[in-house]
Amino acid sequence: MIYPRAWSRLISYVPASITLGLGLWQLDRRREKIEQLNDCREQVALPPLDESIFSQDRGTLETQPYRLVRLQGEWVHHETRLVGPRPCPRGDQGAQASAADPYGYFVVTPFRVAGTEQPNVPQLDGGLINWPVLVNRGWIPRLEVNEYWQRVRQVEENLTGHVEHQNSLIAVLQKTERSTFFIPRNHPAEHKWFRLDPTDLGGELLLAELAEPASTIPGETAQNDPLHDLSVSRPLTAELCQFYISPETHAGYSMTWFTLSAALGFLGWYRNRRLLLDKR
């Protein structure tokens, strides 16, 4: 009968051991977040990349997810892909404008970099052109999608027969999304996109435009941008190094788990002590 009682005493400390492990895990997550913050701040402080980004290896670029990119070129609005429906990104200014309908679409538009030629041969399923650069221009509410397409047609008509204006783009590398239970696979042949994947969207490089107003070539007007005055949501440079759960929050979580572990450990000790007293 001694072994069951010994196991019973050990089981009393299992909850305390589990919560202790969770506290240590939160401390490790805090360490990882601090390293990510340091990497982000170092990359944001570096000079922006230019057309040299095309000569860099894809693996090298993925190690610099917060490195700013500055390019000049032209938007190809009629080749836009709408990715969604998706909820408004956390913390973006579009959340207030989308109160009536919190779902919308990411606007992914090809960007023809100055000095490069426009590809004219469809290379993917569904007749999609494989563009060198695609840009996630931000999120717009579902209620404004029709207005966006109307503006695209107006912009295309205004630019017909005219020299297109050069735009200056400030962006970062867009993280590729993988299929999950909540985000289904893309269907390029049907022109249906649910996740940000440059391969499915028909691009070699996918960037995310930042909200800071980029400088433009003199003569360009806001009317040439279909997103002008729409409730578009884009990340700010200052938000690149902000995480949903900060290191301080992880530290708070760890202290909560450690406190609970100490309380459960005391209860386990008190239970075992009572068992010994009752035996006597």
pLDDT of residue 182: 78
pLDDT of residue 181: 76
What CA–CA distance (Å, rounded) separates 105 from 95? 13
Q: Phi, psi (5° rounding) for residue 254?
A: -65, -40
Domain range list for the chain: 46-239, 243-280
Strand runs labelled E in 114-166: 131-141
Please, which residues bridge with residue 109 across strands?
135
What CA–CA distance (Å, rounded) separates 104 from 41? 30
What Å distances lie between residue 259 and 19, 21, 29, 66, 256, CA to CA?
9, 12, 18, 36, 5
What CA–CA distance (Å, rounded) separates 140 from 103? 8
**Which residues in the chain come in under a pLDDT of 50?**
1-4, 214-219
pLDDT of residue 122: 53
pLDDT of residue 188: 82
What CA–CA distance (Å, rounded) separates 179 from 261? 37
Where residue 137 falls (left for φ over 0; alpha for ψ -120 to 50; beta otherwise) is: alpha
215 half-sphere exposure, CB direction, 13 A CA radius: 2
Query: Which runs of consecutive H residues, i.e. helices, occur in the chain?
Result: 2-11, 14-45, 58-62, 94-97, 145-159, 198-201, 247-279
Residues 189, 125 contacting (CB under 8 angstroms): yes
What CA–CA distance (Å, rounded) separates 132 from 130? 7
pLDDT of residue 141: 92
Distance between the two ends of the chain, CA-based, in angstroms?
16
Token look-up 């735009």 returns: 167
Token look-up 């007293």 returns: 277
What CA–CA distance (Å, rounded) separates 263 from 265? 5
Residues 206, 169 contacting (CB under 8 angstroms): no
What CA–CA distance (Å, rounded) separates 232 from 102? 13
What Å distances lie between residue 199 and 89, 214, 253, CA to CA?
22, 27, 38
pLDDT of residue 91: 54
